[in-house]
Amino acid sequence: MLLLGTAQIVVQVAASTVSICFTQGLVRERTNITGGPAVAINSLINATIIIFAINNLVTDTLFLYRCYVIWDFRKKVIILPGMFLLSTFVFGVFASYTVEDNLITIAYTMATATNILLTTLTAGRIWWKRRQTSHTGLDDTFRKWYSTAVAIILESGAAYFVCGILLVSTIAIEPRGNSMIYGIVLGITRQSVVSADIPSSLL
């Protein structure tokens, strides 16, 4: 996740640099930004989308595995979230090859739904185990551990959820290619998706 996140930032900075250089050329020399320059910029932007999709896949796969372990390795529990996870990745990759906002909106929606489902399954299972320990005579230390785990998972899930909702909302208001707000939210999301899941993945 760290390597992918770093690569994503490097490619994004490169895309921004190329875009600024050619925009300056367009303004000062009235050169045409079509052809090679446009292809280069689009390729870099598409690369950031693909890296983001891969990073999200890696992060959610870790989350999925954690849920699998917490549910005592029951495969049927992760079938639905696993399908959501793969759908998110597929739509995210296809979205890099089209200017349509529908695919990327579906990808963000699926990612948010995956997060909600995994958070509910994981936190719910831990809460249920905590409830069971209250009848076994264990001391408060164990129950505090369970409560802390639930709190961390819910907090990280909430951060992920908020970012997903903001992305979908900004695209609905204005096309992503023309929205400065979308670009800001996307930059925040790319970092928060990973950083929000790292603390809970250490449990």
Q: What is the pLDDT of residues 148-185, one digit of tens each?
A: 888 888 887 888 888 888 888 888 887 766 667 877 88
Give me the residue spans of the domains in the chain.
56-201
Among 195, 131, 189, CA closest to 162: 189
Specify the pTM. Answer: 0.78
Helices (H) and strands (E) in the chain, counts: 6, 0
In b/e form, how buried is each residue of 144-165, taking b as 16+ CB within 10 angstroms? eebeebbebbbebbebbbbbbe
Residue 110, helix vs strand vs coil: helix
pLDDT tens-digit map of 17-62: 887 777 776 666 655 555 566 677 778 878 888 888 898 899 889 8
For the chain, report the end-to-end CA distance as a whole number of angstroms. 17
Looking at the predicted structure, is the pLDDT value of residue 138 above 70? no
pLDDT tens for 101-137 read 788 888 889 989 998 999 999 989 888 888 777 666 6
Q: What is the helix (H) or strand (E) element at residue 139, kind and residue range?
A: none
